Amino acid sequence: MYRMHRQPEHVMTFLLAEMGTSGSLDGQQRLVVKGRFAPKNFERILRRYVNDYVICNGCKSPDTILSKENSLFFLRCEKCGSGRSVAPIKAGFVARVGRRKAGT
């Protein structure tokens, strides 16, 4: 296991956008999420964050730095020196399902 060395707010923004919900960080920097989510779905989303914003594509090292230059985020590897831009966080697809009328 390794530490991600990312701002909690960045991780929170990604998780909440992907889960299509709201939440906040409490006083101890723990994520409080509105709603119920299966642990495996939460883990799947967290793994996607690690692949997109932590792991180096070149050497697969987690020893990277995420920085913001102008309006773009860049990932730079401390181990091999490679770098790349990363996609901005955007909300995932959230299905809006209303209740059906009785008898339909």
The tally of domains found in the chain comes to: 1
Residue 31 lies in a domain: yes
Identify the helix (H) or strand (E) that includes residue 33. strand 31-33
pLDDT at 5: 85
Residue 48 lies in a domain: yes
CA distance 48 to 14: 10
Residue type, 58: G
CATH number of 69's domain: 3.30.30.170
DSSP bridge partners of 32: 24
pTM comes to: 0.79
**Cα angle for residues 3, 77, 82 (degrees, 5° grid):** 160
Cα four-point dihedral sign 78, 28, 1, 74: negative
Residue 93 lies in a domain: no
Residue 38 lies in a domain: yes
- Between 40 and 3, residue with greater pLDDT: 40
- 39-88 confidence digits (pLDDT tens): 899 899 999 999 999 999 999 999 999 998 888 899 999 999 999 999 88
CA distance 63 to 74: 14
Q: What is the DSSP string of 9-22?
A: HHHHHHHHHHHT--
Which domain does 76 fall in, by range? Answer: 8-86
CA distance 51 to 90: 16
